[in-house]
Chains A and B, each alone.
Chain A
Amino acid sequence: MAAVETSAPPGPTTPAQPGRRKLTGYWLLLPGALWLGVFFVIPFYSLLATSLYDPKGSVLGGYDVTFHLANFVDAIRDNADVLVRSLWYAGLATLFCLLLGYVLAYAIAFKAGRWRNLLLVLVIAPFFTSFLVRTLSWKLILADDGFVVNTLQTLHLMGDNDRLLATPVAVIAGLTYNFLPFMVLPLYASLEKIDHRLIEAAGDLYASPVRAWFKVTWPLSLPGVVAGTLLTFIPAAGDYINASLLGSPNQRMVGNVIQNLFSATGDYAAAGALSVILLTIIIGLVLIYVRTAGTEDLV
Protein backbone atom coordinates (compact mmCIF):
# COMPACT_ATOMS: atom_id res chain seq x y z
CA MET A 1 0.00 0.00 0.00
CA ALA A 2 2.89 2.32 0.77
CA ALA A 3 3.79 2.09 -2.89
CA VAL A 4 0.90 4.41 -3.66
CA GLU A 5 2.51 7.18 -1.66
CA THR A 6 5.72 7.00 -3.64
CA SER A 7 4.11 6.63 -7.04
CA ALA A 8 1.64 9.48 -6.52
CA PRO A 9 2.25 12.65 -8.49
CA PRO A 10 3.96 15.29 -6.36
CA GLY A 11 1.09 17.02 -4.63
CA PRO A 12 1.12 20.51 -3.19
CA THR A 13 1.79 19.14 0.30
CA THR A 14 5.44 18.65 1.10
CA PRO A 15 6.15 15.03 1.97
CA ALA A 16 7.16 14.28 5.55
CA GLN A 17 10.75 13.47 6.32
CA PRO A 18 11.45 9.92 5.26
CA GLY A 19 13.07 9.06 8.63
CA ARG A 20 9.96 9.86 10.62
CA ARG A 21 7.73 8.07 8.14
CA LYS A 22 9.67 4.88 8.40
CA LEU A 23 9.33 4.73 12.16
CA THR A 24 5.59 5.56 12.32
CA GLY A 25 4.70 1.99 11.36
CA TYR A 26 6.64 0.62 14.29
CA TRP A 27 5.13 3.06 16.77
CA LEU A 28 1.60 2.23 15.64
CA LEU A 29 2.29 -1.46 15.83
CA LEU A 30 4.10 -1.40 19.16
CA PRO A 31 1.22 -1.37 21.72
CA GLY A 32 -0.73 -4.17 20.06
CA ALA A 33 2.42 -6.18 19.40
CA LEU A 34 3.49 -5.83 23.03
CA TRP A 35 0.10 -6.98 24.28
CA LEU A 36 0.05 -10.01 21.99
CA GLY A 37 3.71 -10.72 22.73
CA VAL A 38 3.33 -10.66 26.50
CA PHE A 39 -0.10 -12.23 26.82
CA PHE A 40 -0.21 -14.55 23.82
CA VAL A 41 3.32 -15.56 22.76
CA ILE A 42 5.12 -15.67 26.12
CA PRO A 43 2.32 -17.74 27.75
CA PHE A 44 3.11 -20.53 25.28
CA TYR A 45 6.59 -20.61 26.73
CA SER A 46 5.23 -20.81 30.28
CA LEU A 47 2.78 -23.49 29.17
CA LEU A 48 5.67 -25.50 27.81
CA ALA A 49 7.54 -24.99 31.09
CA THR A 50 4.42 -26.04 33.02
CA SER A 51 4.18 -29.21 30.97
CA LEU A 52 7.70 -30.12 32.09
CA TYR A 53 7.03 -29.54 35.81
CA ASP A 54 7.73 -32.25 38.28
CA PRO A 55 4.23 -33.57 39.01
CA LYS A 56 5.15 -33.93 42.71
CA GLY A 57 4.83 -30.17 43.20
CA SER A 58 1.63 -28.24 43.85
CA VAL A 59 0.26 -24.79 43.10
CA LEU A 60 0.87 -23.65 46.68
CA GLY A 61 4.24 -25.33 47.24
CA GLY A 62 5.59 -24.41 43.83
CA TYR A 63 6.84 -26.60 41.03
CA ASP A 64 10.31 -27.57 39.91
CA VAL A 65 11.00 -27.58 36.21
CA THR A 66 12.69 -30.95 36.01
CA PHE A 67 12.15 -31.59 32.31
CA HIS A 68 9.83 -34.32 33.37
CA LEU A 69 9.10 -35.62 29.87
CA ALA A 70 7.16 -38.49 31.40
CA ASN A 71 4.27 -36.02 31.75
CA PHE A 72 3.73 -36.32 28.03
CA VAL A 73 3.86 -40.10 28.03
CA ASP A 74 1.38 -40.20 30.92
CA ALA A 75 -0.93 -37.66 29.30
CA ILE A 76 -1.07 -39.60 26.05
CA ARG A 77 -1.51 -42.94 27.82
CA ASP A 78 -4.34 -41.65 30.02
CA ASN A 79 -6.14 -39.65 27.36
CA ALA A 80 -5.55 -41.34 24.02
CA ASP A 81 -9.25 -42.23 23.71
CA VAL A 82 -10.36 -38.72 24.65
CA LEU A 83 -7.96 -37.16 22.15
CA VAL A 84 -9.12 -39.42 19.33
CA ARG A 85 -12.75 -38.73 20.22
CA SER A 86 -12.20 -34.96 20.23
CA LEU A 87 -10.60 -34.99 16.78
CA TRP A 88 -13.29 -37.30 15.49
CA TYR A 89 -16.19 -35.18 16.80
CA ALA A 90 -14.55 -31.96 15.61
CA GLY A 91 -13.89 -33.51 12.20
CA LEU A 92 -17.50 -34.64 11.78
CA ALA A 93 -18.83 -31.29 12.98
CA THR A 94 -16.54 -29.55 10.47
CA LEU A 95 -17.83 -31.76 7.68
CA PHE A 96 -21.46 -30.97 8.53
CA CYS A 97 -20.61 -27.27 8.84
CA LEU A 98 -19.04 -27.41 5.40
CA LEU A 99 -22.14 -29.02 3.86
CA LEU A 100 -24.61 -26.65 5.52
CA GLY A 101 -22.34 -23.62 5.32
CA TYR A 102 -21.58 -24.07 1.62
CA VAL A 103 -25.25 -24.16 0.72
CA LEU A 104 -25.97 -21.06 2.77
CA ALA A 105 -22.90 -19.13 1.59
CA TYR A 106 -23.60 -20.08 -2.03
CA ALA A 107 -27.22 -18.99 -1.74
CA ILE A 108 -26.20 -15.64 -0.24
CA ALA A 109 -23.39 -15.01 -2.73
CA PHE A 110 -25.20 -16.04 -5.92
CA LYS A 111 -28.94 -15.98 -5.33
CA ALA A 112 -29.71 -13.39 -2.70
CA GLY A 113 -29.42 -10.25 -4.82
CA ARG A 114 -30.22 -7.18 -2.78
CA TRP A 115 -31.00 -9.26 0.32
CA ARG A 116 -27.31 -10.14 0.66
CA ASN A 117 -26.45 -7.74 3.46
CA LEU A 118 -29.53 -8.61 5.45
CA LEU A 119 -28.78 -12.32 5.17
CA LEU A 120 -25.17 -11.75 6.23
CA VAL A 121 -26.40 -9.91 9.31
CA LEU A 122 -28.65 -12.89 10.04
CA VAL A 123 -25.65 -15.23 9.77
CA ILE A 124 -23.73 -13.38 12.46
CA ALA A 125 -26.81 -12.60 14.55
CA PRO A 126 -26.72 -15.87 16.56
CA PHE A 127 -23.26 -14.76 17.77
CA PHE A 128 -24.98 -12.09 19.79
CA THR A 129 -26.81 -14.33 22.20
CA SER A 130 -24.71 -16.07 24.74
CA PHE A 131 -22.97 -19.23 23.50
CA LEU A 132 -23.93 -21.05 26.71
CA VAL A 133 -27.58 -19.98 26.63
CA ARG A 134 -27.86 -21.07 23.00
CA THR A 135 -26.27 -24.42 23.76
CA LEU A 136 -28.62 -24.92 26.69
CA SER A 137 -31.60 -24.37 24.41
CA TRP A 138 -30.45 -27.38 22.38
CA LYS A 139 -31.03 -29.34 25.54
CA LEU A 140 -34.69 -28.41 25.28
CA ILE A 141 -34.88 -29.10 21.53
CA LEU A 142 -33.33 -32.56 21.87
CA ALA A 143 -35.02 -33.38 25.20
CA ASP A 144 -36.37 -36.90 25.73
CA ASP A 145 -40.00 -35.79 25.57
CA GLY A 146 -39.33 -32.97 23.15
CA PHE A 147 -40.63 -32.43 19.65
CA VAL A 148 -37.64 -33.87 17.77
CA VAL A 149 -37.41 -37.10 19.74
CA ASN A 150 -41.20 -37.60 19.71
CA THR A 151 -41.35 -37.10 15.96
CA LEU A 152 -38.51 -39.50 15.30
CA GLN A 153 -40.13 -42.05 17.60
CA THR A 154 -43.49 -41.73 15.86
CA LEU A 155 -41.74 -42.27 12.54
CA HIS A 156 -40.01 -45.30 14.11
CA LEU A 157 -36.64 -43.87 13.26
CA MET A 158 -35.82 -44.10 16.95
CA GLY A 159 -36.77 -46.73 19.48
CA ASP A 160 -39.08 -45.76 22.34
CA ASN A 161 -36.23 -45.71 24.85
CA ASP A 162 -33.58 -44.16 22.63
CA ARG A 163 -32.48 -40.66 23.43
CA LEU A 164 -30.64 -37.93 21.61
CA LEU A 165 -29.27 -36.11 24.64
CA ALA A 166 -26.15 -37.62 26.16
CA THR A 167 -25.21 -39.20 22.84
CA PRO A 168 -22.49 -38.30 20.32
CA VAL A 169 -25.29 -37.10 18.01
CA ALA A 170 -26.22 -34.31 20.42
CA VAL A 171 -22.61 -33.23 20.95
CA ILE A 172 -21.82 -33.17 17.24
CA ALA A 173 -25.07 -31.35 16.47
CA GLY A 174 -24.21 -28.76 19.10
CA LEU A 175 -20.68 -28.30 17.75
CA THR A 176 -22.01 -27.98 14.20
CA TYR A 177 -24.53 -25.39 15.28
CA ASN A 178 -22.14 -23.33 17.35
CA PHE A 179 -19.33 -23.06 14.81
CA LEU A 180 -21.40 -22.73 11.63
CA PRO A 181 -20.95 -18.93 11.30
CA PHE A 182 -17.16 -19.43 11.31
CA MET A 183 -17.62 -21.58 8.22
CA VAL A 184 -20.16 -19.43 6.39
CA LEU A 185 -18.26 -16.13 6.54
CA PRO A 186 -14.96 -17.22 4.90
CA LEU A 187 -16.89 -19.32 2.35
CA TYR A 188 -19.00 -16.32 1.49
CA ALA A 189 -15.91 -14.11 1.17
CA SER A 190 -14.45 -16.56 -1.37
CA LEU A 191 -17.64 -17.22 -3.31
CA GLU A 192 -18.49 -13.55 -3.55
CA LYS A 193 -15.22 -12.83 -5.38
CA ILE A 194 -15.90 -15.35 -8.15
CA ASP A 195 -16.45 -13.75 -11.54
CA HIS A 196 -19.89 -14.93 -12.69
CA ARG A 197 -18.73 -14.78 -16.32
CA LEU A 198 -16.44 -17.76 -15.68
CA ILE A 199 -19.42 -19.90 -14.71
CA GLU A 200 -21.42 -18.62 -17.67
CA ALA A 201 -18.50 -19.46 -19.92
CA ALA A 202 -18.52 -23.02 -18.62
CA GLY A 203 -22.22 -23.19 -19.46
CA ASP A 204 -21.59 -21.80 -22.94
CA LEU A 205 -19.07 -24.57 -23.45
CA TYR A 206 -21.84 -27.11 -22.77
CA ALA A 207 -20.91 -27.92 -19.16
CA SER A 208 -23.94 -28.91 -17.13
CA PRO A 209 -24.52 -26.74 -14.02
CA VAL A 210 -23.21 -29.59 -11.85
CA ARG A 211 -20.08 -29.98 -13.96
CA ALA A 212 -19.55 -26.22 -14.01
CA TRP A 213 -19.75 -26.21 -10.23
CA PHE A 214 -17.18 -29.02 -9.97
CA LYS A 215 -14.79 -27.53 -12.49
CA VAL A 216 -15.13 -23.81 -11.84
CA THR A 217 -16.96 -22.77 -8.68
CA TRP A 218 -15.55 -25.34 -6.27
CA PRO A 219 -11.86 -24.84 -7.19
CA LEU A 220 -12.27 -21.07 -6.98
CA SER A 221 -13.91 -21.32 -3.57
CA LEU A 222 -11.13 -23.52 -2.13
CA PRO A 223 -9.42 -20.70 -0.16
CA GLY A 224 -12.70 -20.13 1.66
CA VAL A 225 -13.14 -23.86 2.23
CA VAL A 226 -9.67 -24.14 3.76
CA ALA A 227 -10.08 -21.05 5.97
CA GLY A 228 -13.58 -22.08 7.02
CA THR A 229 -12.70 -25.65 7.88
CA LEU A 230 -9.73 -24.48 9.95
CA LEU A 231 -11.76 -21.85 11.80
CA THR A 232 -14.36 -24.52 12.57
CA PHE A 233 -12.20 -27.53 13.32
CA ILE A 234 -9.70 -25.85 15.63
CA PRO A 235 -12.11 -24.31 18.14
CA ALA A 236 -14.37 -27.37 17.94
CA ALA A 237 -11.49 -29.69 18.86
CA GLY A 238 -10.81 -27.72 22.04
CA ASP A 239 -14.41 -27.09 23.02
CA TYR A 240 -15.88 -28.70 26.12
CA ILE A 241 -19.10 -26.74 26.53
CA ASN A 242 -21.10 -28.86 24.07
CA ALA A 243 -19.69 -32.11 25.43
CA SER A 244 -20.57 -31.11 29.00
CA LEU A 245 -24.01 -29.68 28.42
CA LEU A 246 -25.30 -32.00 25.71
CA GLY A 247 -23.26 -35.15 26.25
CA SER A 248 -22.59 -37.55 29.08
CA PRO A 249 -19.21 -38.46 30.62
CA ASN A 250 -18.91 -40.95 27.75
CA GLN A 251 -18.68 -38.02 25.33
CA ARG A 252 -15.96 -36.21 27.26
CA MET A 253 -13.62 -34.26 25.03
CA VAL A 254 -10.05 -33.19 25.64
CA GLY A 255 -11.16 -29.73 26.76
CA ASN A 256 -13.13 -31.28 29.62
CA VAL A 257 -10.06 -33.15 30.79
CA ILE A 258 -7.75 -30.12 30.63
CA GLN A 259 -10.25 -27.91 32.42
CA ASN A 260 -10.71 -30.54 35.14
CA LEU A 261 -7.00 -31.05 35.61
CA PHE A 262 -6.51 -27.31 36.08
CA SER A 263 -9.47 -26.48 38.28
CA ALA A 264 -10.67 -29.62 40.04
CA THR A 265 -7.52 -31.73 40.36
CA GLY A 266 -5.00 -28.89 40.36
CA ASP A 267 -2.59 -31.07 38.39
CA TYR A 268 -0.95 -28.28 36.42
CA ALA A 269 1.84 -30.43 34.99
CA ALA A 270 -0.54 -32.96 33.42
CA ALA A 271 -2.89 -30.22 32.22
CA GLY A 272 0.01 -28.34 30.64
CA ALA A 273 1.30 -31.46 28.94
CA LEU A 274 -2.14 -32.29 27.55
CA SER A 275 -2.58 -28.72 26.25
CA VAL A 276 0.79 -28.89 24.51
CA ILE A 277 -0.15 -32.25 22.97
CA LEU A 278 -3.48 -30.89 21.72
CA LEU A 279 -1.78 -27.87 20.20
CA THR A 280 0.92 -30.01 18.57
CA ILE A 281 -1.62 -32.37 17.02
CA ILE A 282 -3.65 -29.46 15.70
CA ILE A 283 -0.61 -27.67 14.24
CA GLY A 284 0.50 -30.93 12.63
CA LEU A 285 -2.91 -31.58 11.10
CA VAL A 286 -3.21 -28.00 9.90
CA LEU A 287 0.19 -28.10 8.21
CA ILE A 288 -0.61 -31.35 6.42
CA TYR A 289 -4.03 -30.04 5.47
CA VAL A 290 -2.87 -26.68 4.16
CA ARG A 291 -0.08 -28.32 2.18
CA THR A 292 -2.49 -30.85 0.65
CA ALA A 293 -5.05 -28.18 -0.16
CA GLY A 294 -2.25 -26.09 -1.64
CA THR A 295 -3.37 -22.69 -0.40
CA GLU A 296 -0.80 -20.42 1.14
CA ASP A 297 -2.75 -17.19 1.44
CA LEU A 298 -4.93 -17.80 4.45
CA VAL A 299 -4.60 -14.46 6.11
Chain B
Amino acid sequence: MTGLGRLRLWVGDHLIMLLGLLVLVYMFVPIAVVVMMSFNDNSKSRNVYKFQSFTWDNWTNPCKPSGMCHDVVVSIEIGLLATVAATILGTLAAFAMVRHQFVGRSVANLVVFLPMATPEIVMGSSLLSLFVVAPIVPLGFWTIFIAHVMFCISFVIVTVKARLSGLDQNLEQAAMDLYATESQTFWRVTFPLVLPGILAAALLSFSLSFDDFIITNLNAGQTVTFPMFVWGSAQRGVPMQVNVVGTVMFLVSIAIVLGGELNSRRRARALAS
Protein backbone atom coordinates (compact mmCIF):
# COMPACT_ATOMS: atom_id res chain seq x y z
CA MET B 1 0.00 0.00 0.00
CA THR B 2 1.35 3.45 -0.87
CA GLY B 3 1.87 6.12 1.76
CA LEU B 4 -0.84 8.23 0.21
CA GLY B 5 -3.32 5.38 0.36
CA ARG B 6 -2.47 4.75 3.99
CA LEU B 7 -3.01 8.42 4.77
CA ARG B 8 -6.39 8.32 3.09
CA LEU B 9 -7.34 5.24 5.07
CA TRP B 10 -6.25 6.88 8.31
CA VAL B 11 -8.33 9.96 7.58
CA GLY B 12 -11.26 7.74 6.58
CA ASP B 13 -11.02 5.78 9.81
CA HIS B 14 -10.90 8.76 12.04
CA LEU B 15 -13.37 10.75 9.99
CA ILE B 16 -16.09 8.23 10.76
CA MET B 17 -15.25 8.19 14.46
CA LEU B 18 -15.29 11.98 14.43
CA LEU B 19 -18.66 12.14 12.67
CA GLY B 20 -20.01 9.54 15.10
CA LEU B 21 -18.88 11.66 18.03
CA LEU B 22 -20.58 14.68 16.46
CA VAL B 23 -23.84 12.72 16.35
CA LEU B 24 -23.35 11.90 20.03
CA VAL B 25 -22.83 15.58 20.76
CA TYR B 26 -26.12 16.29 18.97
CA MET B 27 -27.76 13.78 21.29
CA PHE B 28 -26.34 15.44 24.37
CA VAL B 29 -26.84 19.13 23.59
CA PRO B 30 -30.43 19.15 24.90
CA ILE B 31 -29.34 17.37 28.07
CA ALA B 32 -26.64 19.96 28.62
CA VAL B 33 -29.35 22.58 28.21
CA VAL B 34 -31.53 20.82 30.82
CA VAL B 35 -28.63 20.80 33.29
CA MET B 36 -27.79 24.42 32.54
CA MET B 37 -31.39 25.58 32.94
CA SER B 38 -31.64 23.86 36.32
CA PHE B 39 -29.34 26.66 37.54
CA ASN B 40 -31.27 29.42 35.80
CA ASP B 41 -32.76 32.25 37.81
CA ASN B 42 -35.88 33.27 35.93
CA SER B 43 -37.46 35.31 38.73
CA LYS B 44 -36.85 38.55 36.81
CA SER B 45 -38.03 37.49 33.40
CA ARG B 46 -40.96 35.57 32.03
CA ASN B 47 -38.90 34.08 29.21
CA VAL B 48 -38.19 30.54 30.39
CA TYR B 49 -36.35 29.64 27.20
CA LYS B 50 -33.29 31.77 27.82
CA PHE B 51 -30.60 31.55 30.47
CA GLN B 52 -30.78 34.67 32.65
CA SER B 53 -28.48 34.35 35.64
CA PHE B 54 -27.02 31.68 37.87
CA THR B 55 -28.72 30.51 41.04
CA TRP B 56 -28.82 27.52 43.40
CA ASP B 57 -32.46 28.24 44.28
CA ASN B 58 -33.99 25.60 42.02
CA TRP B 59 -31.85 22.93 43.63
CA THR B 60 -32.42 24.11 47.18
CA ASN B 61 -36.20 24.50 46.71
CA PRO B 62 -37.08 21.71 44.28
CA CYS B 63 -40.69 21.47 45.50
CA LYS B 64 -41.55 25.13 45.10
CA PRO B 65 -43.84 24.75 42.05
CA SER B 66 -47.14 23.64 43.51
CA GLY B 67 -48.00 20.04 42.81
CA MET B 68 -44.78 19.10 41.05
CA CYS B 69 -43.23 16.96 43.77
CA HIS B 70 -46.56 15.26 44.37
CA ASP B 71 -46.73 14.36 40.68
CA VAL B 72 -43.14 13.13 40.72
CA VAL B 73 -44.07 10.82 43.61
CA VAL B 74 -47.09 9.54 41.67
CA SER B 75 -44.82 8.80 38.69
CA ILE B 76 -42.32 7.00 40.89
CA GLU B 77 -45.05 4.90 42.53
CA ILE B 78 -46.54 3.89 39.19
CA GLY B 79 -43.06 3.33 37.78
CA LEU B 80 -42.01 1.00 40.61
CA LEU B 81 -45.24 -1.01 40.60
CA ALA B 82 -45.30 -1.31 36.82
CA THR B 83 -41.61 -2.28 36.76
CA VAL B 84 -42.08 -5.07 39.28
CA ALA B 85 -45.15 -6.46 37.51
CA ALA B 86 -43.75 -6.16 33.98
CA THR B 87 -40.37 -7.60 34.97
CA ILE B 88 -41.93 -10.67 36.61
CA LEU B 89 -44.43 -11.34 33.80
CA GLY B 90 -41.89 -10.62 31.08
CA THR B 91 -39.12 -12.73 32.60
CA LEU B 92 -41.42 -15.73 32.99
CA ALA B 93 -42.56 -15.34 29.38
CA ALA B 94 -38.97 -14.97 28.15
CA PHE B 95 -38.02 -18.25 29.86
CA ALA B 96 -41.00 -19.93 28.25
CA MET B 97 -40.11 -18.60 24.83
CA VAL B 98 -36.43 -19.57 24.96
CA ARG B 99 -36.47 -22.75 27.02
CA HIS B 100 -39.81 -24.43 26.45
CA GLN B 101 -41.85 -25.73 23.62
CA PHE B 102 -45.39 -24.59 23.07
CA VAL B 103 -47.86 -24.31 20.26
CA GLY B 104 -48.24 -20.86 18.73
CA ARG B 105 -44.67 -19.64 18.98
CA SER B 106 -44.94 -17.37 15.95
CA VAL B 107 -48.15 -15.80 17.26
CA ALA B 108 -46.44 -15.20 20.60
CA ASN B 109 -43.46 -13.58 18.86
CA LEU B 110 -45.80 -11.32 16.92
CA VAL B 111 -47.82 -10.28 19.97
CA VAL B 112 -44.60 -9.43 21.79
CA PHE B 113 -43.27 -7.40 18.88
CA LEU B 114 -46.47 -5.47 18.13
CA PRO B 115 -46.65 -3.22 21.23
CA MET B 116 -43.19 -1.92 20.35
CA ALA B 117 -44.31 -1.24 16.79
CA THR B 118 -47.68 0.38 17.40
CA PRO B 119 -47.90 4.15 17.65
CA GLU B 120 -48.54 5.14 21.24
CA ILE B 121 -51.52 7.24 20.28
CA VAL B 122 -53.23 4.15 18.80
CA MET B 123 -52.42 1.95 21.82
CA GLY B 124 -53.59 4.69 24.17
CA SER B 125 -56.85 5.26 22.35
CA SER B 126 -57.65 1.55 22.10
CA LEU B 127 -57.04 1.11 25.80
CA LEU B 128 -59.20 4.12 26.54
CA SER B 129 -62.01 2.72 24.41
CA LEU B 130 -61.77 -0.55 26.35
CA PHE B 131 -61.95 1.26 29.69
CA VAL B 132 -64.94 3.27 28.47
CA VAL B 133 -66.85 0.20 27.26
CA ALA B 134 -65.82 -2.00 30.20
CA PRO B 135 -65.18 0.21 33.24
CA ILE B 136 -63.28 -2.45 35.24
CA VAL B 137 -61.52 0.29 37.18
CA PRO B 138 -62.19 4.03 37.00
CA LEU B 139 -59.66 5.99 34.95
CA GLY B 140 -56.77 7.00 37.18
CA PHE B 141 -53.79 5.52 38.99
CA TRP B 142 -54.63 1.87 38.23
CA THR B 143 -55.49 2.36 34.58
CA ILE B 144 -52.11 4.08 34.14
CA PHE B 145 -50.51 1.12 35.93
CA ILE B 146 -52.27 -1.35 33.61
CA ALA B 147 -51.17 0.58 30.53
CA HIS B 148 -47.56 0.85 31.67
CA VAL B 149 -47.25 -2.85 32.49
CA MET B 150 -48.73 -3.59 29.07
CA PHE B 151 -46.14 -1.65 27.07
CA CYS B 152 -43.21 -2.59 29.35
CA ILE B 153 -43.73 -6.38 29.11
CA SER B 154 -42.52 -6.53 25.50
CA PHE B 155 -39.33 -4.65 26.27
CA VAL B 156 -38.65 -6.94 29.25
CA ILE B 157 -39.23 -10.07 27.15
CA VAL B 158 -36.90 -8.88 24.38
CA THR B 159 -34.14 -7.89 26.82
CA VAL B 160 -34.28 -11.06 28.94
CA LYS B 161 -34.62 -13.25 25.86
CA ALA B 162 -31.43 -11.77 24.41
CA ARG B 163 -29.53 -12.53 27.61
CA LEU B 164 -31.00 -16.00 27.94
CA SER B 165 -30.31 -17.14 24.41
CA GLY B 166 -26.72 -15.88 24.64
CA LEU B 167 -26.15 -18.09 27.68
CA ASP B 168 -23.61 -20.88 27.51
CA GLN B 169 -25.71 -23.99 28.11
CA ASN B 170 -22.59 -26.00 28.94
CA LEU B 171 -22.55 -24.32 32.35
CA GLU B 172 -25.96 -25.72 33.20
CA GLN B 173 -24.97 -29.09 31.77
CA ALA B 174 -21.89 -29.06 33.97
CA ALA B 175 -23.99 -28.34 37.07
CA MET B 176 -26.30 -31.22 36.19
CA ASP B 177 -23.32 -33.52 35.64
CA LEU B 178 -22.16 -32.60 39.13
CA TYR B 179 -25.44 -33.91 40.51
CA ALA B 180 -27.18 -30.58 40.99
CA THR B 181 -30.94 -30.97 40.95
CA GLU B 182 -32.97 -29.03 38.45
CA SER B 183 -33.88 -26.32 40.94
CA GLN B 184 -30.33 -26.06 42.27
CA THR B 185 -29.07 -25.66 38.74
CA PHE B 186 -31.63 -22.97 38.10
CA TRP B 187 -31.05 -20.90 41.23
CA ARG B 188 -27.26 -21.32 41.44
CA VAL B 189 -26.34 -21.19 37.76
CA THR B 190 -29.06 -20.06 35.37
CA PHE B 191 -30.67 -17.32 37.43
CA PRO B 192 -27.45 -15.50 38.47
CA LEU B 193 -26.33 -15.55 34.85
CA VAL B 194 -29.62 -14.09 33.60
CA LEU B 195 -29.89 -11.56 36.43
CA PRO B 196 -28.00 -8.72 34.67
CA GLY B 197 -30.49 -9.02 31.81
CA ILE B 198 -33.42 -8.91 34.22
CA LEU B 199 -31.99 -5.84 35.98
CA ALA B 200 -31.41 -4.09 32.67
CA ALA B 201 -35.00 -4.87 31.71
CA ALA B 202 -36.24 -3.47 35.03
CA LEU B 203 -34.27 -0.25 34.56
CA LEU B 204 -35.62 0.10 31.04
CA SER B 205 -39.19 -0.50 32.27
CA PHE B 206 -38.89 2.11 34.98
CA SER B 207 -37.61 4.77 32.64
CA LEU B 208 -40.24 3.95 30.01
CA SER B 209 -42.97 4.14 32.63
CA PHE B 210 -41.67 7.28 34.32
CA ASP B 211 -41.34 9.01 30.98
CA ASP B 212 -44.52 7.97 29.20
CA PHE B 213 -46.84 10.75 28.23
CA ILE B 214 -49.07 9.94 25.25
CA ILE B 215 -50.69 6.73 26.56
CA THR B 216 -50.79 8.05 30.12
CA ASN B 217 -52.43 11.30 29.11
CA LEU B 218 -55.34 9.43 27.49
CA ASN B 219 -55.92 7.03 30.37
CA ALA B 220 -55.12 9.14 33.41
CA GLY B 221 -58.54 10.44 34.41
CA GLN B 222 -57.87 12.94 37.21
CA THR B 223 -54.45 11.55 38.14
CA VAL B 224 -51.46 13.68 37.17
CA THR B 225 -47.99 12.23 36.54
CA PHE B 226 -44.75 14.18 36.18
CA PRO B 227 -44.78 14.29 32.35
CA MET B 228 -48.39 15.48 32.52
CA PHE B 229 -47.32 18.21 34.93
CA VAL B 230 -44.63 19.31 32.45
CA TRP B 231 -47.13 19.28 29.60
CA GLY B 232 -49.67 21.27 31.59
CA SER B 233 -47.16 23.91 32.63
CA ALA B 234 -45.54 24.12 29.18
CA GLN B 235 -48.41 26.33 28.05
CA ARG B 236 -47.60 28.95 30.71
CA GLY B 237 -43.84 28.37 30.78
CA VAL B 238 -42.33 25.53 32.78
CA PRO B 239 -40.90 26.17 36.24
CA MET B 240 -37.11 25.74 36.28
CA GLN B 241 -37.41 22.99 38.89
CA VAL B 242 -38.58 20.69 36.08
CA ASN B 243 -34.98 20.78 34.86
CA VAL B 244 -33.79 19.78 38.32
CA VAL B 245 -35.96 16.66 38.13
CA GLY B 246 -34.65 15.97 34.61
CA THR B 247 -31.03 16.33 35.74
CA VAL B 248 -31.50 14.13 38.81
CA MET B 249 -33.19 11.41 36.72
CA PHE B 250 -30.32 11.51 34.26
CA LEU B 251 -27.60 11.35 36.92
CA VAL B 252 -29.24 8.56 38.89
CA SER B 253 -29.75 6.30 35.89
CA ILE B 254 -26.26 6.95 34.54
CA ALA B 255 -24.88 6.07 37.97
CA ILE B 256 -26.86 2.81 37.99
CA VAL B 257 -25.80 1.84 34.46
CA LEU B 258 -22.14 2.71 35.00
CA GLY B 259 -22.15 0.98 38.39
CA GLY B 260 -23.47 -2.18 36.74
CA GLU B 261 -20.88 -1.95 33.99
CA LEU B 262 -18.00 -1.48 36.43
CA ASN B 263 -19.27 -4.30 38.59
CA SER B 264 -19.40 -6.74 35.67
CA ARG B 265 -15.93 -5.63 34.54
CA ARG B 266 -14.51 -6.20 37.99
CA ARG B 267 -16.10 -9.63 38.08
CA ALA B 268 -14.73 -10.50 34.66
CA ARG B 269 -11.26 -9.45 35.80
CA ALA B 270 -11.59 -11.49 39.00
CA LEU B 271 -12.59 -14.52 36.93
CA ALA B 272 -9.71 -14.01 34.51
CA SER B 273 -7.02 -13.84 37.19
Residues of A within 8 A of B (CB): 1-2, 4, 8, 11-13, 16, 21-22, 24-26, 28-29, 31-33, 35-37, 39-44, 46-47, 49-50, 59, 100-101, 103-104, 106-108, 110-112, 117-119, 121-141, 143, 145-146, 177, 180-181, 209, 230-231, 234-235, 237-241, 245, 254-255, 258-259, 262-263, 268, 271-272, 275, 278-279, 282, 286, 298-299
Contact = CB atoms under 8 A, between A and B. Distances in A.
A262 B150 contact: no
Contacts of A122: 24, 27-28
30 contacts: A16-B182, A25-B96, A26-B102, A28-B96, A31-B89, A36-B111, A36-B112, A39-B127, A39-B130, A39-B147, A43-B126, A47-B122, A50-B129, A103-B16, A110-B16, A111-B13, A111-B20, A121-B261, A126-B27, A129-B250, A132-B234, A136-B238, A140-B37, A146-B49, A235-B120, A238-B122, A239-B214, A272-B125, A279-B118, A299-B113
Interface string B217-237: 110000000110011001000
Interface in B77-109: 88-90, 92-93, 95-102, 108-109
A108 B246 contact: no
A128 B37 contact: no
B150 A36 contact: yes
A107 B19 contact: yes
Contact of B119 (A11, A12, A146, A237): A237
Contacts of A126: 27-28, 30-31
B50 interface: yes
Q: List 8 A-B pairs, minimum CB-CB distance, nearest first.
A: A238-B119, A107-B20, A25-B100, A43-B126, A28-B96, A32-B93, A47-B126, A128-B253
B7 interface: no
Given A107-B21, A126-B30, A141-B30, 10 more contacts: A2-B100, A39-B130, A47-B122, A111-B16, A125-B257, A131-B211, A133-B230, A235-B120, A278-B121, A299-B109
Given A145-B50, A279-B119, A262 B218 contact: yes
Interface in B122-147: 122-123, 125-130, 132-134, 146-147
Contacts of A21: 100
A47 to B, nearest CB: 4
B195 interface: no
Contacts of B177: 11-12
Nearest to B30: A137
A21 B127 CA distance: 35
Find the residue from A26, A108, A299 having the highest chain B CB count within 10 A: A299
Contact of A13 (B24, B34, B180): B180
A1 B168 CA distance: 11
B169 interface: yes
Contacts of B127: 39, 43
A4 B165 CA distance: 12
B20 A128 contact: no
B253 A100 contact: no
A129 B227 CA distance: 11
B173 interface: yes
Contacts of B27: 122-123, 126, 177, 180-181
Interface in B8-31: 9, 12-14, 16-17, 19-21, 23-24, 26-31
Contacts of B89: 31-32, 35
Nearest to A50: B129
Contact of A131 (B20, B23, B213): B213
A40 B148 CA distance: 11
Contacts of B171: none
Nearest to A256: B121
Contacts of B37: 137, 140
A259 B27 CA distance: 28
